[in-house]
């Protein structure tokens, strides 16, 4: 069973539906018991960095994220979920992230002809071997919805990048932790393959 963390973020139900489409039982939950007994945990979300951190605290999920990471249970963070794994975000000055990885979330710079937020498909440059991207070809297109992007301080954790007005760290991976800025649950066959790879870890 996959525990999908429920902290009032957007897009959580789409993640549950995508996992169920792959034949997996997925439960949107705040229950410590359900999360601790799950085979894998997903932190999805669309929302604002500071508000998302407040909700993780409010619902007692912050400590459960740390617990999941410590236990080496496979953990996937999506979109704002990825951003929360890092130290801070320009979106919410003063708000502290989970700090699981060093790095910061920056606003996509404005430039002529570039719409922010980015909403739509973009291609990935795969940086290194990754269990999450097994069977995914270089240049595969995935779906993004974001105004802010990750700058990871440890290049070795970055598994995929993309370009949208700047160089964006689109996915990271270390040990049992996987995270994507894009939405695999909205990325058609490529996204389902990425989720399937996660389920097989």
pLDDT in tens, 102-153: 999 999 998 888 899 999 999 999 987 899 999 999 999 999 999 999 999 9
In percent, the amount of the chain with pLDDT more than 90 equals 93
CATH no., domain 2-92+102-199: 3.40.50.880
- To the query of whether residue 125 is one of the catalytic residues in this protein, the response is no
Residue-wise over 83-99: b if at least 16 C-beta within 10 A, else e? bbbbebbebbeebebbe
* Half-sphere exposure at residue 75, Cβ-oriented, CA atoms within 13 angstroms: 25
Q: Is 87 helix (H, G, I), strand (E, B) or coil?
A: coil
Number of H helices, E strands in the chain: 6, 13
Which residue, chain included where needed, has tokens 């617990």? 67
pTM of the shown model = 0.96
Distances in whole angstroms, Cα of residue 36 to Cα of each of 5, 32, 123, 149, 170: 12, 6, 35, 30, 28
Residue 79: active-site member: yes
In the DSSP assignment, the letter for residue 186 is G
Catalytic residue among 24, 33, 79, 173: 79
pLDDT of 49 over the 90 cut: yes
Give the active site residue among 91, 169, 173, 183.
Answer: 183
Mean pLDDT rounded to a whole number for the chain: 96
Q: Which of 91, 146, 173, 185 is catalytic?
A: 185
- Half-sphere exposure (CA, 13 Å, Cβ side) for 53? 19
Catalytic residue check, 185: yes
């Amino acid at each position: 069973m996959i525990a999908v963390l429920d902290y009032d973020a957007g897009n959580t139900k789409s993640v549950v539906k995508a996992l169920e489409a792959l034949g997996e039982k997925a439960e949107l939950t705040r229950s410590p018991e359900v999360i601790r007994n799950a085979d894998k945990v997903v932190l999805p979300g669309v929302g604002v960095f500071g508000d998302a951190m407040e909700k993780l605290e409010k619902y007692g999920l912050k400590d459960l994220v740390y617990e999941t990471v410590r236990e080496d249970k496979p953990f996937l963070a999506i979109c704002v979920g990825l951003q929360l794994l890092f130290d801070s975000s320009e979106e919410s000055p003063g708000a502290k992230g989970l700090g699981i990885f060093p790095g910061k979330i920056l606003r996509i710079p404005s430039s002529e002809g570039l719409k922010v937020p980015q909403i739509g498909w973009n291609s990935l440059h795969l940086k290194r071997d990754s269990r999450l991207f097994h069977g995914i070809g270089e240049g595969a297109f995935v779906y993004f919805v974001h105004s802010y992007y990750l700058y990871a301080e440890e290049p070795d954790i970055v598994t995929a990048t993309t370009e949208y007005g700047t160089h964006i760290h689109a996915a990271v991976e270390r040990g049992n932790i996987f995270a994507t800025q894009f939405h695999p649950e909205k990325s058609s066959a490529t996204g389902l393959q990425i989720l399937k790879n996660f389920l097989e870890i």
